């Protein structure tokens, strides 16, 4: 016969699990609902609306989207979903895992799970607002904004290419827990790259999402030091002594070594 203490203990465990599921579901559902209110085709979001969304995203953690903190492991094959998927030999060949949470016409919610030293190279977000939250681990972010009015140079090579001048907007390491980062179509570091310092995961909200037919194609770039194509007698942009804050960006094809695979979202279901 089951003792009263045992029945109470089992009831407590059940209640605790239900509370965890409810709070997690509430967190990601609330985030989705606010995104749906914020990003509409009728008008661009206000600064206040983005700030409100960013503040909510600040409190989202890995458990809220069904992840475990892979930065607490030794990164020798244990993925962010807590399963053994790689052996010691191919530790450094692990792909970045892309997890789709929601994909719609007005916004996309997704997660990128990075193994140590993996890189998403320099790329842009044309006409888009992007909120990024590091869920666990440490990530180096380097980001630029295009100089306005545009300043370009022709460079010699196998093909005559053009580089555009951009100003450094972000160059730092983000370590969870940390605040949400926001980039806008022309400010905040719209052209950026990610490098994983440790195993890490980033929750992204992109609005509107990439859409090649609407002119929002993801383009990749290579950056060159400002001094590569400038000299003291030729400084139309007025860079002067702050040249370490500027770089020339060259449009390139999508890198062949961008190793990415799809993962399955295991967090609480979202009701549209």
239-249 pLDDT per residue, tens: 766 888 999 99
In sequence order, what DSSP letters do the residues of 72-92 get, joined into one string? GS--SSB-TTS-B---STTGG
Other CB atoms within 10 Å distance of the CB of residue 19: 10
pLDDT of residue 231: 63
Least confident of 24-38, 143-157, 208-222, 225-239: 225-239
The percent of residues above 90 in pLDDT, for the chain, comes to 65
Other CB atoms within 10 Å distance of the CB of residue 137: 26
SS3 assignment, position 109: strand
Alpha helix ranges (H) inside the chain: 4-38, 47-57
Tell me if 73 sits within 8 A of 82, measured CB to CB.
no
Least confident of 144-148, 150-154, 230-234: 230-234
**Which value, in Å, is the radius of gyration of the alpha carbons in the chain?**
22
C-alpha atoms less than 13 angstroms from C-alpha of 270 in its C-beta half-sphere: 25
CA distance 205 to 239: 33
pLDDT of residue 76: 44
- The mean pLDDT value for 60-84 works out to 69
CA distance 166 to 143: 9
pLDDT of residue 21: 43
- The mean pLDDT value for 137-160 works out to 89
CA 59 to chain centre: 16
Q: pTM value? A: 0.82
For residue 53 the two structure tokens come to 């969304």
200-210 pLDDT per residue, tens: 999 999 999 99
Taking CA atoms, 98 is separated from 48, 58, 144, 234, 259, in Å, by 29, 21, 23, 44, 11
């Amino acid at each position: 016969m089951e003792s009263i203490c045992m029945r109470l203990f089992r009831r407590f465990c059940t209640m605790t699990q239900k509370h965890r599921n409810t709070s997690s579901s509430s967190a990601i559902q609330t985030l989705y609902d606010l995104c749906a209110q914020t990003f509409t085709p009728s008008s661009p979001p206000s600064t206040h609306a983005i700030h409100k969304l960013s503040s909510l995203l600040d409190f989202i953690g890995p458990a809220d989207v069904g992840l475990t903190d892979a930065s607490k492991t030794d990164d020798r094959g244990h993925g962010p979903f807590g399963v053994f998927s790689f052996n010691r030999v191919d530790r450094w060949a692990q792909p970045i895992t892309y997890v789709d949470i929601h994909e719609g016409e007005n916004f996309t919610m997704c997660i990128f799970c990075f193994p140590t030293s993996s890189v998403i190279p320099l790329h842009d977000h044309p006409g888009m607002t992007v909120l990024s939250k590091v869920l666990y681990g440490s990530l180096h972010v380097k980001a630029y904004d295009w100089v306005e009015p545009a300043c370009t140079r022709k460079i010699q090579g196998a093909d005559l290419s053009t580089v555009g001048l951009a100003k450094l907007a972000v160059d730092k390491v983000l370590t969870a827990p940390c605040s949400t980062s926001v980039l806008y179509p022309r400010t905040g570091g719209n052209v950026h790259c990610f490098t994983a310092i440790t195993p890490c995961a980033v929750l992204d909200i992109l609005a509107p999402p990439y859409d090649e037919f609407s002119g929002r194609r993801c383009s990749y770039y290579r950056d060159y030091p400002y001094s590569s194509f400038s000299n003291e007698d030729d400084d139309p942009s007025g860079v002067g002594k702050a040249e370490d804050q500027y770089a020339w960006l060259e449009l390139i094809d999508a890198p062949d070594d961008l190793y990415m695979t799809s993962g399955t979202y295991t967090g609480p279901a979202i009701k549209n």
